[in-house]
Amino acid sequence: MQIIKSLRKFDLALLVLSVAVFAVLEVLIDMRIISSFWRLQIILIGINVILAASLNLINGITGQFSLGHAGFMAVGAYVSAIMTMWYDLPFGAALLIGGLAACIIGVLIGIPTLRLDGDYLAIATLGMGEIIRICILNIQAVGGASGLTGIPRLTTFAWVFWIMVITLFFLKNMINSTYGRSCISVRENAIAAAAMGINTTFAKVLAFAIGAFFAGLAGGLFSHYFSIAHPSSFTFLNSYNYLTMVVLGGLGSMTGSITGAALITFITAALSDYPEVRMIIYALCLILLMLFRPQGLFGSQEGSLLLRRLMNRRKEAKANGSTLGNN
Amino acid sequence: MAALLETTDLSKSFGGIKAVQNFLIHIDEGEVIGLIGPNGAGKTTAFNLLTGVYVPTTGKILFDGKDITGKKPYQITALGIARTFQNIRLFGELSVLENVKIAFTLHASYSFPEAILRIGRYGKEEQIIDERARELLAAFKLDSLADEQAKNLPYGQQRRLEIARALATRPKLLLLDEPAAGMNPQETKELTQMIRWIRDTYKLSILLIEHDMALVMHICERIYVLDYGKILAEGTPDEIKNNPAVIKAYLGTEG
């Protein structure tokens, strides 16, 4: 069968699934069956999925250990807020400019820091995230330490959901192309990748730029939901939190990033009534996971692949069953 | 026949150590050339110079009429030199098929937006990549293992996959770094035939580093002997076998 046809069929199935999930959630929210607390959590899950999936491109797919994701998010949050507040741009355009700003910062920071490997890169990106935050903290025009307030509340569930879907489609299609395979080859063995004619520096910077772009979009959605952008929302601990989602789901698995983001946001929300034990339970969950499934929930596999294997197995079982029946 | 690869006065120093000195080599189209020498003679360093992993301290490398000195490894591969590694460097976590597909990246021309939107050249070229990768695997009798993780393959098959992957870049010159290392006599025999078959089928030149003298003497048209970073001798297998300097370097002298 033609590859493109089977891919399009799969894409269509995913799109139908997305529409169905959207319709159900939208109806539940509209009819106020979901409480305002859980409505907020659903929006947060959407934003966190964008962040985790885009971080997964950098950390999981390309294997470049980055700890500065909240910094890119901050750039997007502030730039898009400035666009809607000061220049009265439509929300979509403001989000796009916020994302592009984060992307440009990502490229500028990526070119020098991506020469580093492993732990060194982690420390450099961590520092970079903090530099962005502290710069914002000291710019009085955007509110400095008291944060940027009065941002119009433009983020709706529909915006978050569809940008999340676009992000996931974008990343999925990228991974299944020569561009994504270049990134994966850098993770697997950079020397061999270069010997296969792959420009490893380009692949790394590409992953960094695209990861930063989507983090910027998520930042814009974030600041336009809470009507405020505050430097304390973009600390190292936030970057760390997104990394936890990626690792929990499985480095390199987009399905994993979605699950990780949803699960961690859910656990945090569900435990919000028990603030004393929240962090203990949270930490225990992570320790247990690392003990029993150190590769993350999905490993580096995609959910669709696991599903297909399961279906094949069931088909085989059925075939075996029917032959037995004939006998 | 025109020279495919020519070096002039190539050398590489690491601090005070002269790993390779005055390395002069020329390879014609369609030749199979051996590069031998005792351990630490600088053979792999020479490979790394030719493939751009190291930038030479002095000298020039001319490949296919172009000066490739100082070019990056990926640029040199794009011009037509592919290699395998002494210590196998496969993309271990990926499937056998994906390993080969990655090496076809060089020959895909669809743009990033085409990939993201899955329009234009994307579908057609992905189809071609998939078909060519499977053909290549079939030629190397790895097609039944296409979905296997590369790291799970037995040693001999990993070596074969590495060669198949290198060929996917469509090289004019293939560098093999100890392809027979760790192979049993039967596998080495098959490898000998395979190297000839590769040269004839894919119409390329081969430069190989090898310690298995039977293999080298059997298939190489000319041999370069490297010792202490310098070329000690050059010639046909028979000339090399009877060269007193080579015998001395390998076996030492009496007394």
Q: What ipTM does the predicted assembly reach?
A: 0.89
- A295 at the B interface (CB within 8 A)? no
Same domain membership, residue B115 and residue B224: no
Determine the angle formed by the axes of helices A200-226 and A36-56, rounding to 10 degrees.
170
**Cβ contact A178–B115 (<8 Å):** yes
Is the pLDDT reported for residue B1 higher than 60? no
C-alpha distances out from residue A85 to A88, A103, A214, A232, Å = 6, 21, 21, 21
CA B108 remoteness from chain centre: 22
CA distance B11 to chain A (A): 21
Four-CA torsion A79, A85, A89, A93, nearest 10 degrees: 30
Q: What is the pLDDT of residue A170?
A: 95
**Cβ contact A184–B77 (<8 Å):** no
Q: What is the pLDDT of residue A277?
A: 85
Same domain membership, residue B211 and residue B190: yes
Same domain membership, residue B115 and residue B61: no
- B79 at the A interface (CB within 8 A)? no
Q: What is the pLDDT of residue A1?
A: 53
Classify residue B164: in a domain, yes or no: no
Q: What is the pLDDT of residue A242?
A: 93
- A325 at the B interface (CB within 8 A)? no
CATH number reported for the structural domain that contains residue B225 in this entry: 3.40.50.300
Four-CA torsion A98, A101, A106, A111, nearest 10 degrees: 170
**Cβ contact A196–B169 (<8 Å):** yes
Nearest to A195 among B77, B118, B123 (CB): B77
**Cβ contact B73–A4 (<8 Å):** no
Per-residue pLDDT of chain A (327 residues; tens, 9 = 90+): 578 888 888 889 999 999 999 999 989 988 888 888 888 999 999 999 999 999 999 999 999 999 999 999 999 999 999 999 999 999 999 999 999 999 999 999 888 888 887 788 889 999 999 999 999 999 988 888 888 988 999 989 999 999 999 999 999 999 999 999 999 999 999 999 999 999 999 999 999 999 999 999 999 999 999 999 999 999 998 999 999 999 988 888 999 999 999 999 998 888 888 888 888 888 888 888 888 888 888 887 787 777 777 777 777 776 665 544 443
Domain edge (last residue) among B120, B153, B186: B153
Classify residue B85: in a domain, yes or no: no
Nearest to A192 among B91, B108, B123 (CB): B91
Asked whether the beta carbons of B234 and B27 are under 8 A apart, the reply is: no
Same domain membership, residue B149 and residue B108: yes
Give per-residue pLDDT as tens, B69-108. Answer: 989 999 999 999 999 998 899 999 899 999 999 999 999 9
**Cβ contact B118–A189 (<8 Å):** no
Q: What is the pLDDT of residue A327?
A: 39
Classify residue B158: in a domain, yes or no: no
- B77 at the A interface (CB within 8 A)? yes
Q: What is the pLDDT of residue B253?
A: 65
Same domain membership, residue B175 and residue B208: yes
Mean residue pLDDT of chain B comes to 90
Residue with tokens 């290699």: B83
- A1 at the B interface (CB within 8 A)? no
CA distance A267 to chain B (A): 31
Please give the tally of structural domains in chain B.
Answer: 2
Residue with tokens 């950390």: A59
| Residues whose CB falls within 8 Å of the CB of residue A282, separated by 6 or more in sequence, listed in order | A267, A268, A271
- B51 at the A interface (CB within 8 A)? yes
Same domain membership, residue B56 and residue B99: no
Q: What is the pTM of this model?
A: 0.90
**Cβ contact B74–A197 (<8 Å):** yes
Mean per-residue pLDDT for B235-240? Answer: 90
- Pick among A15, A191, A196, A302 to test the B interface (most B CBs inside 10 A): A196
Same domain membership, residue B62 and residue B8: yes
Give per-residue pLDDT as tens, B144-190. Answer: 999 999 999 998 889 999 999 999 999 999 999 999 888 888 888 98
User: B54 is in which domain, residue-wise?
Assistant: 3-80+171-251
| Distance between CA atoms of residues A194 and A187, nearest Å | 12
Q: What is the pLDDT of residue A8?
A: 86
Q: Which of B185, B129, B133, B187 is nearest to B158 (CA)?
A: B187
Is the pLDDT reported for residue B226 higher than 80? yes
Give per-residue pLDDT as tens, B100-157. Answer: 999 999 999 999 999 999 888 998 999 999 999 999 999 999 999 999 999 999 988 8
Give per-residue pLDDT as tens, B242-254. Answer: 888 888 887 776 6
Per DSSP, helices labelled H in B203-241 are 213-219, 237-241
CA distance B111 to chain A (A): 9
**Cβ contact A11–B118 (<8 Å):** yes
B106 contacts in A (CB within 8 Å)? Answer: 196-198
Same domain membership, residue B76 and residue B201: yes
- B50 at the A interface (CB within 8 A)? no
Classify residue B165: in a domain, yes or no: no
Same domain membership, residue B218 and residue B117: no
Mean per-residue pLDDT for B196-225? Answer: 91
CA distance A140 to chain B (A): 39
User: A205 is in which domain, residue-wise?
Assistant: 3-28+37-326
Q: What is the DSSP string of A165-198?
A: HHHHHHHHHHHTSHHHHHHHHHHH-HHHHHHTT-
Q: What is the pLDDT of residue A325?
A: 43
**Cβ contact B91–A200 (<8 Å):** no
Q: Which of A247, A176, A239, A249 is nearest to A211 (CA)?
A: A239
Same domain membership, residue B21 and residue B75: yes
- B130 at the A interface (CB within 8 A)? yes
